[in-house]
Each structure stands twice: as structure tokens, then as C-alpha cells.
Chain A
Amino acid sequence: MTGIVVATGQVSEDFFRDRSGGGCIEENRLFCPGWVIENADRYLGPTLEHLLLVGSAVIVGFGLAFWLAVLAHRHRWLSSPFLAATGILYTIPSISFFFLLLPLTGRGMLTAIIALTAFSLQIIFRNVATGLRNVPDSVRTAAVGMGLTGRQILWRIEIPLALPEIIAGLRIATVSTVALATLAVFANGGGLGGEIIVGSNITFKTGIIVAGSIAIVMAIAFDGLLLVAGKILSPWKRATP
């Protein structure tokens, strides 16, 4: 156990058991694969929690921001106030947001999800609004002139055409929420952040690397999934250079 300084009492002695017997922990190398294999089960729970945090925040955030953007598209004067409001929520540091919410929602996952959702609104709102605005006027004029109603134009023309930008917004929002959700631990909201905190208090860094890597892989996976979904949903983009 030499060379390892335990700064808090949160880590049990069991944490440092290295059954691979390679002496990696004793030498305090940066990364100990044997330890990872030994402790893999330790990350299952936090990973699922992390997925839940990100998934709920992005889905709820999308649900809200999408309608706000559609509303602002119909009534242009709403655009500025919506942008300002989501902008404020975007800029509030998440940790302070957690503490602001404490009296209302207490400590726990709900608080974390609310803060993360609030953070994602701005990115999604901006992208949906831009996507809708970027539909060429000529397309809209032709659609009106052919007798499509406002609702038909929105659902059949504007939203499908805005899809690439909407998906782009979702990708940014998802990836940044994966990163930000590591702070949920401060609201006692779980997620991979717990494992990073543990690692930050000790000089043994393998745990941080593992938790961080899981978050990175998760972000890349979400990003890739959305990218593919976007391509499938907008075949005309592929057909036209």
C-alpha cells in the first residue's frame, strides 16, 4: 500500500485489491488493466445511471425546446425572449443550479435531470429555430400557393427540411450533456461522476480513466447513432451534393 494516500474515508481497503498480482497498484502506475478487470462490475450501476440522466435530460429538453422553437417560428416576437431565457439557463453553472434547486426538489436524480434539461434547451432551441428559418422562402411560397395549410407546411415541409439542423443540435446537446452529467454527483444524482470524485481524492488514477473513458465512449456512441439516424431520415441530403 505504499505510495497511496487516502484523502477521504470514502474508499474502502477493498478498493485497492489487485488480484492480478502484477504489482501495478503498488508501483502506482497510471493505468492498471488488472484492476479494471477485477472491478468492472463497479461501473455498471453508474453507467446505467449516467444513461438515464443523459437520456431523460435530452428527451425532455428536446420535447420542450422543439415546441418553443415551433412557437417562436409561428410568432416571431417570441423568438428573442425565448432565446434570452434559454440562454440564461444555459449559462448558469450547473453546480450552482443544483444548489438553487435543493430547496425545491431536494438532493437526487430529479434535481440533476432538471438542471441538465435546462442546460440542453438553448442548444436544441437554437438549432430547431435555425433549421425552420433556413427553409427557403421560395419553398414556403410555393407550398402556400399550392394550397397547403399552415400546419401541413410545418409538418410536411419545414420540419423535414429542418431535420439535418435539428439532428445536429441534438448531437451537440447529447454530447455536452454526457460530459455535464458527471457533475450530477454533486446533487446526489448518481452517474459516472461518483467514480471520478473517488478517483480525484486518491493518487490512484485508473478509476478516473475508466469512468472518463466510459463517458467518452458513451458520447461517441450517441453522436454516431444520431448521425446515422439523421442520414437515414434525410436521404435527399445524400443524393444532392
Chain B
Amino acid sequence: MTDTGDSEPLQADPGREDDRGRSGNERRASTVTYSEATKRYPGSDTDAVHELDLKIPAGEICVLVGPSGCGKTTAMRMVNRTVEITSGDIEIDGASVLDRDPAELRREIGYVIQQIGLFPHRTVAENIATVPGLLGWEKDRTYARVRELLRLTGLGEDLGDRYPGQLSGGQQQRVGVARALAVDPPLMLMDEPFGAIDPINRTRLQNEFLRLQATIGKTVLFVTHDIDEAIKMGDRIAVLREGGRLAQYSTPLELLAKPADDFVRDFVGSDRPLKRLSLIPMAGISLWQAPVVRAGETADSYRSRLESADLPYPLLVDGEDRVLGWLEPDALDGAPVPSVPASPADPVIEIDSTLRDGLSQLLESGVQFAPVIESDGRLAGVLSIEIISEFLSTGDGSPLQDTVSP
């Protein structure tokens, strides 16, 4: 068990205990607990999933990832009993799934698969209304919910009357997600949901789902074989190895910074540093203080600032702290600051890009450092290749806590 009990503040978990009841719409997210859950298929002499212990906190996306044949899909399907558990147990909000009628259990868990599996003979709206229909919802309530989901998933209400065969692959997958969300289940199982979508649309769907998840806050079990997708989607990642054994269970950052063993290190790939950078927003590290100067300033005014700065090049800004460009280090030499920079500031990095984007911009322009600006254009600081390499060399898995700037 490699659960580190990470304390990263993720999705809040308001009154999980109170949500346990199945009445009303108040419930939002479930806690899922695997206890030595094991699956052995008849006729096999090895376990497909071996004594898996996992605790997935409410409201988090937990990604099960690993090479093919590692049992990740089996592990996921044990939750809704589309694969029966051989030994051990899985609890949802403290109640064993083994005590539930399988069909009833499944109606309370959203289910999305790679092949989508929309019903070709039913319209989009009828597909989405499947589980409400099974639960005997009234027509008006179902209708309203279908419309809401068509809006929420960005499909648009007029698509409701189409048949699945009339939609693009991306649209079909959105319908698949909408259908899984129909009765607002506190738990979603997603089995390589974006695996069959072309790369451009996959990125779009991933981003859409993350945006959606930010508002709906479900507990999600997400299976993928793609480590990049796991890092992008997961609040937590469970890496499984052959035979359904848990290799590591941690946050994406920790997985990249401190892989538990060679298997995880290999699986994560040799570009771990770059993957880590893609997880860190520019606001997540302390940038350099630039020696900021304004046109017309005198030596008395800027001298101390230049001496205490992290780099020798004065950065010329206007009255509203907007970047104008760089000056030569010795250009001032006691004289007042000129109003025209020696060279333009290029590139200028935006604060909401990731460290990976920032590094890429530095490399592309062939420079060592560049100003970072806030969304309103004001200077936030300076990003340098040195900052990035320092960040990577710390490697303690929790750079956020260490270096967050106020």
C-alpha cells in the first residue's frame, strides 16, 4: 500500500456522512474503498486483480492506469459488479457492493465505456433518459433533466431528436457522458472514455470533462493506459502492474517526482521532468523579481532596486506596470531611464500558462528568461530556465507547498 495520505487541498467533501442516504438530490459524491479486493477468473491460476486496497475520497478523480493486461478495467468493473469479486470487498460510502442487487447498484453509478455503446435505435434524448426510465421518473422531470444535460455537455438541445448514427464521434461520447450523468449519480466509472477519439477532440473532451467535474464534483474512477491522460485527469493515480497488483497510489506530482520503483519509473516514461512541468501553473512557483525601471527615473531611485534584483537587465515598464522592454545592463550608468527600451520583451509569458508552456516559449525564442504578466497585462515577475531547473532538482514531490508565491 503506497497511499501517502496526501493532504493537498482538492475538492471539498461537505458532509459526506450525511449524503449517505439515497433520498433526494443532495448527495453528490461517494467514497469508494477497496479492501483486499481480488478477482480470479475461472480456469486461471493467477489473479486478474490481486488484493487491491484503495481508498478514493469523495469528489476526486482516481485514475487506474497501467499496461494492458494489468487488470485496471477488471478492477473498475468490480465496483458495479459487472465483474464479480472473488474475495475481499468494495464499499461505497461504507456499504458493501456485495449486499446490493447488481442491477439496482448499477443504476446508481454512472458508466461510460470507450466504445460508448449508445443505443442506435433510440434518439439522443431517449438514450440519455435510459436510467431515469428504469427508475420510473416522471416524464416532465426526465425531460427537464435531459435538456439540462444536453446544455451541460455542450451538445445543444436540438440534438435530442437525432439518432446516435447521425452524430460525430465526439458528440457521441458527449452523449455517453450525459447518459451516465442522467440521474446525477455520486459515482462515475469511466473506462477509457476518450480512447477512441482523435487527438484533437480527445484534448477538447478531456478539458470539457474537467470543467464539468469542477462544477459537479463527482467521485470518478477513470481507466486509461495513457499516462499523459492519467496525469492530466487524475487527482490521484493508481498505477497497476501485471496481475492486478498496485504499484503506486499517489497524486500525479508525487508519481512524477518520486516513482515508487523501476516499474513505475519505466511506465511513467523518461520525460517525467517535462510532465511535472505540465502540472505546475506559472503562479505555482516563485518567479524572479525583475529590476523594474520607469522612464525618467533617476539613479537614486533605481539603484537599490537594481542591486537587489535577481538579474542584471533592467526591465522598462510603463506607469501601469505593463512591460515595455529590456535595457542593457550598463546602459543606465547613473543616467535617468530612457523612455525607449534597447530590445523588445519577447517572449512575454502569461501567468495562467504552465511551466512547460513557459519553458517551451523560452527555448523557442532562445532566451534565458522572460517576463511573466498577469491577465490584466501587469508584470508578475520573470521566469528563467534556472528557476525551472532548480524546481526540477528539488524533486521532493511537493513543490507547490514549498514555493507557492503569495
Contact = CB atoms under 8 A, between A and B. Distances in A.
A21 interface: no
A142 B117 contact: yes
B121 A147 contact: no
B106 A141 contact: no
Interface stretch (B20-28, B46-54, B108-116, B344-352): B108-116
B156 interface: no
Interface string B104-133: 111110010101111111100000001100
Given A240-B165, A240-B166, A146 B111 contact: yes
Contacts of A145: 80, 82, 106, 111, 113, 117, 189
B103 A147 contact: yes
Given A147-B105, A147-B106, A161-B121, A239 B115 contact: no
Interface in A121-160: 136-149, 152, 157, 160
Contact of B107 (A140, A142, A147, A241): A147
A96 interface: no
B390 to A, nearest CB: 47
Contacts of A148: 103, 130, 134
Given A146-B107, A147-B103, A147-B105, A141 B115 contact: yes
B163 interface: yes
A139 B119 contact: yes
A157 B106 contact: no
Contact-residue bracket for chain A: 20 to 34
B111 to A, nearest CB: 4
A163 B120 CA distance: 12
A134 to B, nearest CB: 11
B104 A147 contact: yes
A142 B120 contact: no
A61 to B, nearest CB: 25
B204 interface: no
A240 B163 contact: yes
A234 interface: yes
A144 B162 contact: no
Contacts of B166: 239-240
Contacts of B104: 147
A77 interface: no
A80 B134 CA distance: 35
Contacts of B102: 147
A236 B163 contact: yes
Interface string A174-211: 00000000000000000000000000000000000000
A138 B113 contact: yes
A152 B166 CA distance: 25
Contacts of B179: 146
Given A239-B163, A240-B165, A146 B115 contact: no
Contacts of B118: 139, 142
Contact of A142 (B103, B111, B162): B111
Contacts of B107: 146-147
B117 A239 contact: no
B131 A141 contact: no
A175 B332 CA distance: 100
Contact of B113 (A141, A161, A163, A241): A141
A146 B163 contact: no
13 contacts: A138-B117, A139-B117, A142-B111, A142-B118, A143-B117, A143-B119, A145-B113, A146-B131, A146-B134, A147-B107, A163-B121, A234-B121, A236-B163
Nearest 10 pairs of A and B residues by beta carbon: A142-B117, A240-B165, A138-B115, A147-B106, A147-B107, A145-B111, A138-B117, A236-B163, A147-B103, A239-B163
Given A142-B111, A145-B117, A147-B134, 11 more contacts: A136-B117, A138-B117, A142-B116, A143-B119, A145-B82, A147-B102, A147-B108, A157-B121, A239-B163, A240-B120, A240-B165
